[in-house]
Amino acid sequence: MSGSEKSFRVRRYFTFATGLVECLCFAGAVFGWASLVFVLKTEGYFSSLCVNTTESNGTHFLDCSRQDEQFSLVFTITSFMNNFLTLPNGFLFDRFGTTVARLFGISLYTTGTLMIAFVTPATSNLLFAAMSLLAVGGILFLITNMQVGNLFGARRSTIITLYNGAFDSSSALFFVIKLLHETGISLRASFLFLSACSAIHLFRTFFLLPRKFIPHPLPDGYTYGITCGKSKKPGPEQTTANGETQRKYDNVSDVPVKQEKTFRECFLSRFFLWHLLWLSVMQLRHYLFIGTLNPMLQRLTAGEPSLVSQYINAFAITQLCGVLCAPWNGLIMDRHKGKPRAAGESEQEADLRSSVLSLSLTALQCVLFSVCASTPYLPLQYLTFALQVLNRSFLYGGNAAFISIAFPSCHFGKLYGLVMALSAVFSLLQYPCFALVKGVLDGDPLYVNIALTLLSMLAFIHPLSVYLHCRSVQRAKNSQSNTATTRT
């Protein structure tokens, strides 16, 4: 192995490791909302919405249902912005490349952390903007890091799902902030520290990631980062037969030109539409669970603060396991790598065939998680937390991996952004569901949970569709092979 190859190998693993840390410690922090809400309530945010109420028997109590609704609305808007703005972010990434996308993401993330640091109970409404900025900046970290999977060839899906699992586990960041707050460290100090960590993101942007993109498959002689100027030949811009312009890579020699589907063809395909349904119904279930976890625990524990805190901590700790669960999904999708493929089967067709099991398992996990979440038995919620983090890590890792398999890589950012944006519109249903539970159903979410469980079962349509497609393609190839054999 030459010196340049050793240097590339070391840089590749360092890029992977630091990207994992970035996703694990920062990117998906907003999904630790339940832990942060506990702190914000302690600090008195939106406390003006709590009112003294008298029951029919003359008992006085403090009704904070409107405060819970406001916190739920903050998370609804934050999760919507996290997904919906992935669409323009995907176009930004595909058009301008890694450096521009990351600098934009870093500026949003840093602004968000600074806003939360200086928000006070008197200016609680600024949480809407601050949390949204934090979410949009974090998803850009994930989008720009997922391409690192292209450096690892046969383990590409495993790396992509691992990064998505780290994104899920980063929700534990707010749990750490909650623990620090209980020891006397203020919210302001914690979020100022997060702002200072932007120096890490800048270092990775300029020294450990390409200016444009990491291609797939990886061409011979490809380099990136601070040594990219030393390669033999810069890759020229290529034009495909359908008139689309391919990406300019930092250093690519002999990039193959092949006929690719247009973005419009990908968007209107059956795969994309069923995949959108698959993601949307399960994501809605997760968002409603996270957004209503605090009031649900308040109801199941009869408002006992120490018990609510205990279960919030348990939920946050299980989120750390997302980074451990996600690679299982990647290994399921990559399990055929290195094995002989069926006669006439392309690598993409083998990848699609392997995705069927992953898509089906994810849908099954969601149904089981929803059933447990619908059962009003407090100790069972420990199992609910475990199933939730397992399913969530499979869901988002599988989402990104499937898009990278089923569609051309030149459209990855746009398609990933589009599916996240459209699913975000569907996820807005979480707030009407929450309002329905608080109002008409008098705080009992049983009927809404049953409806969401039934809705989650629609996710099985997608893996069934992919399976039927793979079987149809294989039958057509077998028929052609038999015809050719007969002629000879």
- For the stretch 382-395, pLDDT in tens is 999 999 988 988 88
Taking only the tens place, the pLDDT of each residue in 93-137 is 888 889 999 999 999 999 999 999 999 988 999 999 999 999 999
Residue 337, token pair as written in the block: 């790598």
Rounded alpha-carbon distances, angstroms, from residue 42 to 61, 188, 213, 308, 442: 18, 14, 45, 13, 25
Cα–Cα nearest to 435, from 291, 315, 255:
291
β partners of residue 264? none
What is the mean pLDDT of the segment spanning 238-248? 40
What does CATH list as the number for 12-49+61-216+269-339+346-479? 1.20.1250.20
Q: Helix, strand, or coil here: 334? A: coil
> Side-chain half-sphere of 361: how many Cα atoms within 13 Å?
21
> pLDDT per residue over 169-222, tens digit each?
888 899 899 899 999 999 999 999 999 999 999 999 998 888 888 886 777 777
DSSP conformation class of 24: I
Instruction: Please tell me whether residue 44 adopts helix, strand or coil conformation.
Output: coil
Q: What percent of the chain has pLDDT over 90?
A: 25
pTM above 0.75, yes or no: no
Tell whether the model's pLDDT for residue 343 goes beyond 70.
no
Q: What is the 3-state secondary structure (H, E, C) of 414-446?
A: HHHHHHHHHHHHHHCCHHHHHHHHHCCCCCCCH
Under a CB-based contact definition with an 8 Å cutoff, are residues 32 and 169 in contact?
no
